[in-house]
Structure formats: structure tokens, C-alpha cells
Structure 1
Amino acid sequence: MPAQSRVAAVTGANKGIGLAIVRNLALQYPKSPFNNGPLLIYLTARSAEKGAEAVRSLTSDPQLKEAKVLAQDGGLTTIKFQELDISQTTSIQQFSEFLRTEHPQGLDFVINNAGIAMQGFDSNVVKTTLQTNYYGTLEATQDLLPLLRDNGRLVNVSSMAGKLNKYSDDIRSAFLQAAKTDVPACTALMERFSQAAADGKEKEAGFPSAAYAVSKAGETAFTKAIAVKEARRGRGVLVNACCPGYVKTDMTKGGGAKTPDQGAQTPVMLALHDIGGKTGGFWQSEKEIDW
């Protein structure tokens, strides 16, 4: 029997929703259909210092201690920090190489939560936001998906901000078509937005003046496109996007109606629980919704 029966990775997990996702994976794993022995979760973050602090906070978390879910308390779950900056290709490659070496038998769950939300709107904000939220998440998805074993799960934490009701009919149709087609079609839309924003003509081009919202529409689109392709491979890997809801975190400047733990419920459900074999969906409040 291997030391770890199940292996998970959560990106952007040193605070907010990411940290809550790790907590709730540990809490819910024992009663999930995937429980077949020990679980190892890689909590990733850009900063080694903040990542180590996050792991420390979880190992002394009163709720986790009371539930006795961590290995140190006789439970099933071990949480380890691993450095990952999804805005840097080399960092993504190093992380996936590390996982491939450490876990040649593969991973079971990947939750891509890392993302940024910047103030203001100009071509630099657009470029920086897309680099992390779209291109970084896409690259992490493409590098980590092949490491999932059969019947694994990949969850991308997107946002309701990326819903398609803010676009011209033309752009909305293009998004829906791209999501059914392939990743390059999704990327072409992001390039179209970047160029329009650089020209100061994003509204005329059918986009909102909102870098975060468009980056998340792109993330939902490519998640759907990848799910279609992955389904053809017949490995039983489920790929879904979700919105955690409006959560009180640094990203929402303390606004928000949900706690991070409440925001973590949908991504954790998509990773750990029976979702009827659904893939390529966009989910919120534990239900599949229209994009």
C-alpha cells in the first residue's frame, strides 16, 4: 500500500478561498466516495513564507483538530507546501515535474484557484490580469491534467463575473462557439480583447471594460473546451469550472456575502463528491448553472 492513496493539489491556497478549499478537502475527504486511505494535499502559493504559514495555520486549526482529520491527530490527511506562481511558465513546469517525479502513479484532484483582481482598467491591467487568470490557469490546467489518473477531477475556480450577459451578441456567440471548439479559439478571443483594450476600443468591440471579468469568461470557455477534448479520451476525468460566490476575502476588499468556507463548498464538491459524471459544466452554490 503506498504511503498516500490519494494526492491533491490546490493552487493559490495560502489565504482566502484557496486556504478554505484545503481545509474543506481535509474535513470532507473521510466521508467522500474517494476515501481509500491517506490523502496528501499540496497547498501551493507564490511565497514560500506565506505558504509555510498557511500550512502552520491549518495544522493548528481548532476545527481540523476537533475533527481529527489530519495525520498528526490520527486522521487521513497530510498537507504540504509547494511553491507555484502560475504567472510564470518555469514555475508551472517545475511544479508539474516535481509531481511527476514524486507521484509517478498520478494525482487524483487538482483545484486551480490562483488568480488576481487588479484595480482600474488599462492595457497594462488587461495584460497582467490575463497573464495570470487566463494564460497561467490554462497552462497549469494543460500541464497538470495529464498527471491525473483515471476518474480524477480537475476544477477551475472561475467567477460569475465571467458570465456572458455583459457582451455584444457577436462576442457572446463567439465565446459559446469557442467553448465547444478548442483552446486556440478561446485564446483568440482573449487576444481580440487585449488588442481592443490597447486601442481603447473594447466597448466598440463588444467587451466590457473589465479585465477580471473577461479573464474569467476566458477561463470558463477554455475549461469547457478542454472538458470536451478530455471526455473523448475516455479516462473518466471530470473537468469543471465554478464560481465560489461573492466571498469575503482580500480580493473583494472584505465585501462579500459568503465566508471563505462557504465559498469553498462548490469547488470541494466538484473534486470529492458524486456529481453524476458531469463534465464541462459551470457551477455555483453546488448546482450547474447557465454560463
Structure 2
Amino acid sequence: MNEKKTALVTGANKGIGFAIAAGLGAIGFTVAVGARDDKRREDAVEQLRAAGFDAFGVALDVTSEHSVAAAAAAIEQTTGRLDVLVNNAGIAGPTDDGAQVPSTLDLDAVSTVLDTNVFGVVRVTNAMLPLLRQADAPRIVNMSSNMGSLTLQTGPMLAAYSSSKTMLNSMTALYAREFVDTPIIVNSACPGYVATDFTGFNSPRTPEQGAAIAVQLATLPYDGPRGGFFDDNGAVPW
């Protein structure tokens, strides 16, 4: 068995996900690049390897039970272990014609967003748990957003996206509660408003800056926080 620690990052072919993969690679992790698109996944793996990091690709569609199960099998076969899971894959959903304004909400859009942003996290997490349970210090990081904070109410009116992150934070707390007497530590991370295609690159904040909190939570000590929601400045009210 490979004794080097392994991390799976979903949606790792670009943006914050790629930056998280690079950040974990830089501190010695073998990184499994989870992504749906074969070409983008291969390109990301090549870039990580060119930077001197240990990486391999994993075909992963978080909306597919079959794909998620196959990804878990592929990781077990490749490294025999999983120490860190970063649930980064997420979608904003459509915004045309008031699709995410509450009074004109497109319920199909809500369903689609939840399938990736919440149900996808549960699918992947539960499929990877047998591998995570074998690790000495398993860590799960769910990439959330302060747009899901009921306290802050930040960002544009995106009812499907924002409520998906609210629910994700709730699931994070529930997983942490379930695993309270185990070595598995689960938290949510807010990367902030980062320049990616998700935001139209309309921010001075880099993907690397957005990734830092995820890397920090992925490497928490044994007495680290559980079930919380954090950004660069500490706990985020939610």
C-alpha cells in the first residue's frame, strides 16, 4: 500500500478545485483529480505533474451513483487509501427569467442545483467513507459559500444556489455530529469571492487565495474544530 497521503478533490480540473489540488500536492499529498470531462481532467493532471506534484485523474460525475462508486473503486485500486476528501464540485444553476428569484423560482433549477451541490456531496462522501475510515486522520472539507449564511444574506439573489449552500452547511454539521467520537473531522469552507469562470473572473481574489482555507481544514490537527463553517478570518456566522 502507498503510505503517502491521498486526497480526492471533486471538480478539480479548474478554478478553486484545481488550486486546492495544487495546494495539497505542494504539501506532499497524492492528489486524485475528480472531474467529469476527460480532456480537462487529463490536462489538470498534466499541469499538476509538471509542477512536481503527485497526481492522477478519476472520472467522477457527482450526480451519478455509478460514477461515484467507480471513482471509489479506482482510488482504492490506485492508492489503497484516502485521507482527505474535498467536496468542491458545484454549480450555480440558471439565472435567466428570474429562475432564482423566490417569487418566480424555477423548481427544476432548484432540483438540478441540489443534485450537484448537496446530494452529490452526500453520494461522494458516503462512497468514500470506507476508504476514509482506514486513514489515521481523515478529513472532509465541503466547499460552501457565505451566500448560504442565513445571518449574512450576502451576494446576488440566487435562491437555488444560496439555499443549496445552507443545506450543505447543515449536512456538514450533521456528519460532524455523527462522527464526533471518531477521527473523521468534517467542516465547511468559504473560499470568498474568487476570480474564476464561476464569477466571470470579476474579483481580485485568486483561486490560490480561495483554496487556502480548504487546505487548512484538510490538514487540521486531531483537536481541530468539527462541524463548523470557516473562511480566512475564522468562523463564518450561518
- Aligned with 2:73 (options 56, 74, 97): 97
Is 1:229 matched up with 2:201?
A: no
Matched, 1:217 2:166: yes
User: What do residues 79-117 of structure 1 show as CA deviations (whole Å, max 9, x unaligned)?
Assistant: 11111010111111111122234444x311111100011
**2: distance between equivalents of 1:166 and 1:269?**
23
Q: Does 1:250 align with 2:182?
A: no
Whether the aligned pair in 2 keeps the contact of 1:269 and 1:286 (CA below 8 Å) is no
Query: How far apart, CA to CA, are the structure 1 residues paired with 2:126 and 2:235?
Result: 23
2:26 is the alignment partner of 1:51: no
Task: Name the structure 1 match of 2:226.
Answer: 279
User: CA 1:270 to 1:288, structure 2 compared with 1: closer, same or farther past 3 Å?
Assistant: same
2:87 counterpart of 1:112: yes
- Aligned pair count reads 224
Matched, 1:267 2:214: yes
- Distance in 1 (CA, whole Å) between partners of 2:126 and 2:23 is 25
Shift of 1:5: 2.0
Matched, 1:20 2:19: yes
CA contact (8 A) 2:7 2:24 kept: no
Aligned residue identity for 1:160: N
Q: What secondary structure sits across from 1:87 in the alignment? A: coil
Report matched runs for 1:124-273 at 5 Å: 124-148=108-132, 149-165=135-151, 210-232=159-181, 234=182, 236-273=183-220
Q: Which has the larger radius of gyration?
A: 1
SS in 2 for 1:97: helix
Looking at structure 1, the residues matched to 93 and 200 of structure 2 have their Cα atoms a distance apart, in angstroms, of 11
Alpha-carbon deviations, 1:31-58, whole Å to 9, x = none? xxxxxxxx32101110111100112222
Matched letter for residue 70 of structure 2: Q
Q: Which amino acid aligns with 2:193?
A: Y
Query: Percent of aligned positions with the same letter in both sequences?
Result: 35
User: 3-state SS of the aligned residue for 1:268?
Assistant: helix
Structure 1, unmatched stretches of 5+, are 31-38, 65-69, 71-76, 168-207
Q: Quickly say closer, same or farther: Cα 1:125–1:166, change in 2 above 3 A.
A: farther
RMSD: 1.9
